[in-house]
Amino acid sequence: MAQMIRPMVAGNWKMNGSRASLDELALMSTGFTPALRQKLDIMICPPATLVLAASQRAVGIGIAIGGQDCHANDAGAHTGDLSAGMLFDAGATAVIVGHSERRADHGESDATVGAKAEAARRNALIAIVCVGETRADREAGKTLAVVRRQLKGSIPDHMTSRDLVVAYEPVWAIGTGLTPTAADVADVHAMIRQDLRRIVGKEEAEKVRILYGGSVKPSNAKELMLVPNVNGALVGGASLKALDLLGIVAAYA
């Protein structure tokens, strides 16, 4: 059951950080005690320019490195884009796809996100597929319908718990300091688990990690991480500094 799933705290650095920021990885590792390492995974997704250097710095320190986006194709004439295979080659083990900032800033559709998730799988990366409603969706009572549509459109049905992580991130909670109530998070995560059974099959669905994201910080992490079917966090702002990230990880101590 969901309680047996190994949690993951993933940090999304977005368009922040330089080589000097990689010193945070060593600090994170210091606070990631053997007892904590037995309980959960930590992943950092730096900007693409830092993936290779971060992967090199992360060797042997127990922190996985991921990308923030990839192209749906493996190679070709796509100026400025990165393929999943390139991220793998640079040492990434996962890639975020369908983050709401990509969906909004780059007009990514569910189909595009699904193709990117498939590219990740094809290239031996875990796809962290993001879904979440806008404030307008929530106010119109459409939260569950929107998230269900995104799940159905963004997750290829042959994905498994080994290559798929789902992140529920209400758009209105990202970077705002606002969070849904624990009860609201529980409702959405239960529905995601339910829909995953239909999409990837019952057995795999029980093992897929479903992260909550949106203004997770040390002060609210424990409450959010204790919600049923919440198997970790996708953290933006609070993942830039080791102390903040470790404060969130401490929810699992």
Binding residues for ligand PGA (CB under 6 A): 12, 169, 174-175, 213-216, 234-238
Active-site choice (118, 169, 189, 204): 169
Which residue in 159, 169, 250 sits closest to 215, CA to CA? 169
Nearer Cβ to ligand PGA, position 150 or 215?
A: 215
Closest distance of CB 121 from ligand PGA, Å: 21
Nearer Cβ to ligand PGA, position 86 or 221?
A: 221
Nearer Cβ to ligand PGA, position 216 or 242?
A: 216
Q: Which helix or strand (DSSP H or E) is residue 222 part of?
A: helix 218-225
Q: Active site includes 169?
A: yes
**Structure tokens of 73?**
């194709």
Q: Active site includes 78?
A: no
145-152 CB contacts, 8 Å cutoff, 24+ apart: 147/188, 147/191, 147/192, 148/191, 148/195, 149/110, 150/98, 150/110, 150/113, 151/192, 151/195, 151/196, 151/199, 152/110, 152/195, 152/199
Closest distance of CB 37 from ligand PGA, Å: 23
Active-site choice (24, 71, 99, 118): 99
Closest distance of CB 74 from ligand PGA, Å: 26
Catalytic site positions? 99, 169
